Amino acid sequence: MRKWFQFPIREGDTSHQAHCDMPAGTFEREIGKEGFFGPATHMYHEHAPTGWSAWEGPLRPRAFDTNKLTPPGQSPWDAAPLLHNANVRVRLWKSEQSMNHLVRNGDGDECLFVHRGRGWLYCDYGRLAFGDGDYLILPRSTTWRLELEEPVTLLMIEASNGSYLNAERGLVGAHAIFDPAVLEYPRIDDAFRAQSARPGEWQVLLKAREQMNRISFPFNPLDARGWKGDLTVFRLNWRDIRPLMSHRYHLPPSAHTTFVANGFVICTFVPRPIESDPGALKVPFYHNNDDYDEVIFYHKGNFFSRDNIDAGMITLHPCGFTHGPHPKAFAAGAKHARTETDEVAVMIDARLPLEVAELPEGVENPDYVNSWQVKGG
């Protein structure tokens, strides 16, 4: 058995409650373990913890504009990983036409977040509609293809070393954040039966052990007449997520966990009221999440803690340094200039360091690291 060394200590000027009523003229910084689930200490600084004047070295906050990526090809496997480690691979795939082949991921479960577009997912389990803001969860080795009604942009998050599971809701119960009843699964309907009956050869591109296999069939392998069980593809839209909130306390990102996998979690930030208590922080607190790399994909809206971030961008904050709101956002929060958020974003917290792919010129914003600089601070 193992247990953290934990005992409450207070030294110098502190607040009585984390993220609320800080000593005058101080900036709070949380130092935490295990992605907000382990022991933590709150520091109260005279200067903004992100007020650096210069940065040298590779461990810097980074921002990537995926809108500037060239569409990779007609298959999801044409999209190379942007970020990856042993547990997770993150791709971005754009397509303007329906797939004329099937794909199967033998390396892990797949989470597809629909950034843009709509259409139909055909898979082993049947047919399922999808559209803007949907998560599609596909168990490992599911065979699938997309028929498009509009061009799509997909954020693809592969759980390479495990499966996607539901987060433990604890005291708030199993129906908090989203009720499992909102989940939709594929159906074997007339359209599914019709497509499976069409004659001709079909090819399945199987990705396994990061190698490609092309398997040809003289029939459509999506020919199920029925199935039963509790393993299936399913859909969840961010609009069905009802976030946990506290008007007196800014909740950590872990409160917004949507999916849990080995070595990483996926959280969803959706519109919500901003804290109304006069003494409560109105923006994310400065923090050291020193066990996890933090990735955020910006889907839509005005992300209230960031400057110069547009829909379709990705930020990476490697573990090991303090990060938090940009100066303008912090100042706006102190004035309670807004009463609610309107952003929608997908966050990935990864336990192992993430490797970044070599990207085309212009995709990364090298000045992102300077956006936290506070003059005179």
- Asked if residue 13 belongs to a known ligand binding site, the reply is no
- Asked if residue 107 belongs to a known ligand binding site, the reply is no
**Assigned token pair, 157:** 């998050």
Measured in whole angstroms, the distance separating CA 75 from the mean position of its chain's CA atoms is 22
Residue spans of beta strands (DSSP E) within the chain: 27-32, 40-45, 62-65, 83-84, 88-95, 102-105, 109-123, 126-130, 134-138, 143-159, 202-208, 211-217, 234-237, 257-261, 264-269, 286-289, 293-300, 313-317, 344-350, 355-356
Inter-residue contact 102 to 155 (CB < 8 Å): no
- Among the listed residues 19, 42, 115, 250, the single catalytic one is 250
Residue 194: which H helix or E strand, with range? helix 190-197
Distances in Å between the Cα of 226 and the Cα atoms of 124, 136, 147 are 10, 21, 21
CB neighbour list of residue 110: distance below 8 Å, 6 or more residues apart: 136, 137, 138, 140, 142, 156, 157, 158, 159
The Cα–Cα gap between 129 and 325 comes to: 37
Enumerate the β-bridge partners of residue 183.
none
Inter-residue contact 276 to 246 (CB < 8 Å): no
CB neighbour list of residue 268: distance below 8 Å, 6 or more residues apart: 238, 241, 256, 258, 344, 345, 346, 347
Is residue 357 left, alpha or beta, with left meaning phi > 0 and alpha meaning psi from -120 to 50?
A: beta
The Cα–Cα gap between 331 and 318 comes to: 25
SS3 of residue 95 by DSSP: strand
SS3 of residue 241 by DSSP: coil
The Cα–Cα gap between 363 and 361 comes to: 6
- Asked if residue 326 belongs to a known ligand binding site, the reply is no
Is 250 part of the annotated catalytic residue set?
yes
Query: Catalytic amino acids?
Result: 250
Give the residue numbers of the binding site for Fe cation: 287, 293, 323
Give the residue numbers of the binding site for homogentisate: 323
Give the residue numbers of the binding site: 287, 293, 323
